[in-house]
Structure 1
């Protein structure tokens, strides 16, 4: 019964803090809340020092295993440390610190240093900055090769299993289409293209469209978390005008 009370609160709010959960149960004891949460399959946030909680049935994790609600980040991988380790190890071309911060929207410098010290990831200087790769040597070798392609071809985009440079004709068409959109539509379109590319998409789309990677990341996160004001899309009076049928004379 108490667990169901927490479930109803979280279904209503999507996320909640420990004080809110304790208030729902009428207790001052953290362990009481944790005992009830364990029966519900819950997640604690990797951002905000883990102070927020949600349920597995609520979270809508993206392809990277991430979900954001009201700027609070959750990961199916668990803590920030574990999330950084998993994303770096599974990445196509490793992560520089700023790239991973763009994806997670939190500072990761300390977490990456700790993982490197413990040998859980590999840290290497590439083109004047540190890039983090998988601890596994074979995986790290493939990531390093992909990183070389990215650094020498900043407009390289992934199509299927390969990597190629966007042809000039296609690039011109994309930029032309992009110029027809308003500011909000540009952000969402850039976010969509980044989500399709996967890891490194924010940086590559930003380079192609002349945007800040943070803007692309914001658009991507809004789409993946469905944080889009549909009322602004479906404006009153918008859309195709009804066709008035003419009566035969």
Structure 2
């Protein structure tokens, strides 16, 4: 009868000390050459594989200190609460306020993402639109994508003299319009806006904002796919 050299608790203590480990190291600790044995023990401990380094590193949920984005890196090896790189990208992009440029994702995730982004696009998991000549990666859902594009254009535009309240109001107002309404407001003149000021203030649910000042911004952004 084969006597197992190490139990799950021994592997747990090893991973708590080391924080991360490769499969080869884990098998050495367990005294086995069988991958399935190692994975069976890891499964008992609630483990995660890295989204960087080809998924070759492993850690425990109790060891990882995930940030607000569900990410944690140790010695340049990175892990995600959302799974592998593809799943992580999809989650981050779908839930973002203003989408992501590839360089932003690479800075956040500390890995190259271009090939993974293309795979997600081909699968229909995300979408992309050019903003200022650069692809912005957005949610696959059309409504969410429209809001992300709008929010990004607000951020990129020359709106330093606009308060945060005004910027938020622009995004809120355009996001609640349907396609026909967005095209209608895109053609509104200043006079039209002033005539409907009270209605717009109610829609925006703010006491007063300089809507006339925002007119050009609203007209520019309100027509989008």
Same fold (TM over 0.5): yes
**Superposed CA offset, 1:171-197 (max 9, x none):** xxxxxxxxxxxxxxxxxxxxxxxxxxx
Would you say how many aligned residue pairs link Structure 1 and Structure 2? 164
Distance in 2 separating the partners of 1:91 and 1:48: 25
Secondary structure, counterpart of 1:119 in structure 2: coil
Aligned to 1:140: 145
| 2-structure distance, mates of 1:13, 1:4 | 14
Q: Which secondary structure state, in structure 2, belongs to the residue aligned with residue 53 of structure 1?
A: strand
Q: Which structure has the greater CA radius of gyration?
A: 2
* Structure 1 position 18 matched with structure 2 position 45: no
Structure 2 residue aligned with 1:55: 60
Gaps of 5+ in 1: 165-249
**Alignment counterpart, residue 154 of structure 2, candidates 149, 152, 155:** 149
The answer on whether the counterparts of 2:154 and 2:167 sit within 8 Å (CA) in structure 1 is no
* Other structure's SS at 1:146 match: helix
Alignment of 1:1-249 (within 5 A): 2-153=7-158
CA shift, 1:27, in A, is: 0.9
Write out per-residue CA displacement over residues 94-118 of structure 1, whole angstroms, 9 at most, x where no aligned residue. Answer: 0111110000000000000000011
What is the TM-score normalised by the length of structure 1? 0.62
Provide the C-alpha distance between the structure 1 equivalents of 2:165 and 2:25, rounded to a whole number of angstroms: 46
Moved over 4 A (4+): 153-156, 158-164
Give the distance between the partners of 1:71 and 1:155, measured in 2 at CA: 37
Q: Secondary structure at the match of 1:19?
A: helix
In 1: Cα distance, 2:166 partner to 2:42 partner: 41
TM-score by length of 2: 0.68
Q: CA RMSD in A?
A: 2.4
